[in-house]
Structure 1
């Protein structure tokens, strides 16, 4: 099994060593196009090409975790569109406690996504301040009701930047104006969102900016405008300094905030509620389907067959993949003791029933680890890499340090799980130690203390300054050569361009529409020629009404 793992790592290294230069070349061409448009004063086109470049780098690793060159183009655009009506924002001091917080995100349609949950819990915890929310690409999606109520109750407002006519530059101007009344701006943006970088290019016109490092394992924009980077885990903080050039004093740790978990059921009661034998040992895993991708020809279910054959009262329940993977052979070999379910929002009863939590593989799911651990469940995660250089690809979090069990190969994995299955006292003691540590770090007043330190640092440091326009440097080392994205959709260049046609200036929109129509035969995609504001305000609502009429 160890040989299989080594073979896989060698294959990933070989494949990515060839792919990274190819991806980097595409990225360089996109950056050059963005720069060319910016030099000609076509800032909206430049911004769209910059976003395509960032999206490409995010999903097709280029040996980069940030791009000074690309951010410099966005800063140039932002400085060229300066609104002279805004007065410089005074440098805050330690004596001024921030009261008005502006959270900025891209799209938060689902209340159960990582970023919406983080914002929601932040506002719920930080009750002594007013919280507003600006969203760069929300319309026509609804803002979740719970967030609308929380913002309103804190005396804040919600702003949908793409509701009005205009392109990325117009949105950036509006965001800059909205932020003028905020004491602190917190960026929870998607990694390729260019609008906040343009909006806050002039630091003397901007409040202090905190960037929350939600996507610490991949490329993102924002380093050039962020006065503090709030990393959610230690590995992300180290990578921010090493590969993103974040200065040590601006590089902080802000653990993921969790809501208090209250056990309503004993393990026995929870198993009974789920129809699971109360005398069984339940292994649980919860993550999105792509995180359970088959590797080495071995599925996530296959990896547990030796354990389940050895312990005939052990059961594995996996929530997320549903039928996306064919696990029928492993299920048959274990007499049906592997149960794969689709996504469910009600996971609390499963956490309360679990005896052991096993992390998703080959992609970790840290939020699920934290949530399981908060119920006193011992945690096991696989880390196949031979050095700490790849730590960003593994599972770590302040509340997990010292208690999470990490194993390197399947043989060790089976041994560790077998010991936990056989030793109830060990499971209970490790689970309780994990629960206590998570509560200490990730909940209530303890988390609030960390937040206050981040606010204070952002308010007291001089505004960040970009002192050089460094050239982007491609790396073909660890962790780059082992970087794989937990996505199954196709991310070819045309797939990135097509959804952005409506936001492009008309000349570029028409050019790409004709090119793609000729290439793909888009007779039914004429609507992509409509500007985005018109599609959102008129075309999409009308199409929705017509569809409803046809159903009736």
Structure 2
């Protein structure tokens, strides 16, 4: 049995059991502060503390995936802080057809999965008008391709933070923007409380769909969402089991992909890369942080036995080239048949050259598996967990179901890869089946049909009525106990990120408390700037650094 299942998982479990109660206590303290501020009528500061609590729970797992107490607090803030004049004058009737879609996100840039999905969604759904509202957009960073897609659909982009004001002001504007929408689709970052406050009055809100981008994380928005659009089966199961989403509101919508067009044969792509066309190329692509040495066994070490067994086999790993991982021993043992490169956007030729795709480990990279499968490359992923309760920590997608090979341990991993290396017919047929399933699920008209069905279903649903008068409870089961090993972020960093949103009095008080606890060196004066001025400060500093660098050259 793979050592990870015996040793590291046990260490992660022990760490999770220790950290989750500490995280839970911190979250409770933040919720208590938010409730106190709301009771005093200081809804702006209460909303910021609510967002700090949400961001903290996202980054430091607290033993739950939704907080009924936080959602209820945000509903209360929305109902009391936003006058009825900012809502439509009459209750919103359910539309018979969806013509106007309002997408809501937090921040969009040229990097990340949400901007790509949003752009592809709008470009594909050409029969409707699409507008976008952004709750915390940085200066000058909206991708031009997204601007073009929105303009071509006769929609508009609303930057809700382009005026003075905090979370409540943005929630008011969001409610106004949604007045003419037939449906609202949330693509917000997991901690973003603006939509929950904006749509607290459900009777006067359009139908709302939450797109479950971060299904393994805590997020807010369940209280106002009429339906959850989960992007994969494991996220769908977790939504029902751990977030309390009713089955009729718990939907599956595959992520939309752009069709992959093979321009090179495998042999041609290998020649272009300087690789022997008769070799069997294993490929893995992910950010460096997803490759970690576990129990002394690196990602490269896991392939040494296979590469020694088959002289024609090589491994190309794109992403970990700039990490601190030392793969030199494995590279030497395999006579250099392990090639390690840094992160790059130009990956198409590598996918076209690959014979087998191997998922990153111990953290998966589903996007890369989908991209490999789109070129007809069969994929193998390791899933060391002992039960399906940890499904969101593994690789799955609707287009991969039935074709992605998942293995439990290194012995099974080597055996599966050996068969794929030896059996060309099996390798090619599995790759072709993977491509066909992805095309039938994630591409073009097939995806559009699923989207049309989702629109029709959601607008016909009775609007959700929040029933969240519950006390949050902490779980130390699976997958909870493994999540602290994925990420932990200190509370000071979270507070720094949200401090500019606070009214000045609370901002100053929080800054003084942080200075007292962590010292002035860790709490610079620029943290006291309101968000708009702070954004301009960082933009000017970045531009100055770039100018200074060019002068020195």
SS in 1 for 2:84: coil
Q: Could you tell me which residue of structure 2 aligns to residue 192 of structure 1? A: 191
Q: Which residue of 2 aligns with 1:376?
A: 376
Q: Give the deviation of 1:4 after TM superposition.
A: 4.4
**2:443 corresponds to:** 443
Match of 1:501 in 2: 499
* Equivalent residues of 1:228, 1:457 under 8 A apart: no
Distance 1:485 1:218, change over 3 A: farther
Partner of 1:323: 322
What's the CA shift for 1:330?
1.6
CA offset digits 1:79-121 (Å, max 9, x no partner)? 112332232342315xx211111111111112x4111111011
Question: Cα gap change, 1:22/1:486 in structure 2, threshold over 3 Å: closer, same or farther?
Answer: closer
Q: Decide whether the 8 Å contact of 2:75 with 2:197 is kept in 1.
A: yes
1:393-449 deviation per Cα after TM superposition (whole angstroms, max 9, x unaligned)? 111111111111010001110111111111111110110111111111111111111
Contact 1:134 1:161 in 2 (8 A): yes
Q: Residues 126-175 of structure 1, C-alpha deviation per residue, up to 9 Å, x if partnerless?
A: 01011111111112141011101111111111111121101111111111
Matched residue, 2:257 = 258
State how far apart, in whole Å, the 1-side matches of 2:57 and 2:149 are: 34
Q: 1:100 to 1:464 in 2, by over 3 A?
A: same
Q: Distance in 2 between matches of 1:120 and 1:261?
A: 17
Query: C-alpha separation between the residues in 1 aligned to 2:120 and 2:547?
Result: 40
SS in 2 for 1:269: helix
Deviations 1:46-74 (A, max 9, x none): 11111111111111111101111011111
Task: Tell me the secondary structure at the aligned position of residue 406 of structure 1.
Answer: strand
1:387 aligns with 387
Whole-angstrom distance in 1 between the partners of 2:523 and 2:30: 28
Give the secondary-structure state (helix, strand or coil) at the position aligned to 1:180. Answer: helix
- Give the Cα–Cα distance (whole angstroms) in 2 for the partners of residues 131 and 59 of structure 1: 31
**Match of residue 280 from structure 1:** 279
Give the superposition deviation at 1:545. 5.6
- 1:512 pairs with one of 510, 513, 525: 510
| Structure 1 partner of 2:355 | 355
Deviation, 1:329, is 1.8
Compute the displacement of 1:485 (Å).
5.5
Structure 1 match to 2:528:
529
SS in 2 for 1:178: helix
**Structure 1 CA distance for aligned equivalents of residues 99 and 461 of structure 2:** 18
Find the aligned partners of 1:42 and 1:301 in 2 and give their Cα distance: 55
SS at match of 1:33: helix
TM-score (norm 1): 0.96
Aligned partners of 1:234 and 1:253 also within 8 Å: yes
Alpha-carbon deviation of 1:540? 4.1
Query: CA 1:234 to 1:550, structure 2 compared with 1: closer, same or farther past 3 Å?
Result: closer
Alpha-carbon deviation of 1:376? 0.5
* Structure 2 gaps, min length 5: none
Deviation at 1:482, TM superposition (A): 2.2
SS in 2 for 1:162: coil
Which shows bigger deviation, 37-46 or 208-217?
37-46
Tell me the matched-pair count: 546
Are the aligned partners of 2:69 and 2:468 in contact in 1 as well (CA < 8 Å)?
A: no
Counterpart position of 2:308: 309
Q: Is 2:3–2:295's contact at 8 Å kept on the other side of the alignment?
A: no
What displacement does 1:536 show? 3.3
The aligned counterpart of 1:70 is 70
Q: CA RMSD in A?
A: 1.7
SS of 2:400's partner is coil
1:40 deviates by: 1.0
Q: State the match for 2:90 in structure 1.
A: 88
CA distance in 2, matches of 1:208, 1:57: 27
CA 1:484–1:440 in 2, change beyond 3 Å: closer, same or farther?
farther
Structure-1 residue corresponding to 2:13: 13
Query: Any conservation in 2 of the 1:139–1:163 contact (CA below 8 Å)?
Result: no
1:100 aligns with 2:100: yes
Counterpart mapping for 1:147-296 below 5 A: 147-296=146-295
C-alpha separation in 1, matches of 2:115 and 2:485: 21
Secondary structure of 1:185's partner?
strand
Cα deviation for residue 286 of structure 1 reads 1.2
Q: Residue 420 of structure 2 corresponds to which residue in structure 1? A: 420
Deviation at 1:279, TM superposition (A): 1.2
1:486, distance to aligned residue in structure 2 (A):
4.3
In the TM superposition, residue 199 of structure 1 has moved relative to its aligned partner by 0.9
Match of 2:41 in 1: 41
Other-structure match for 2:489: 491
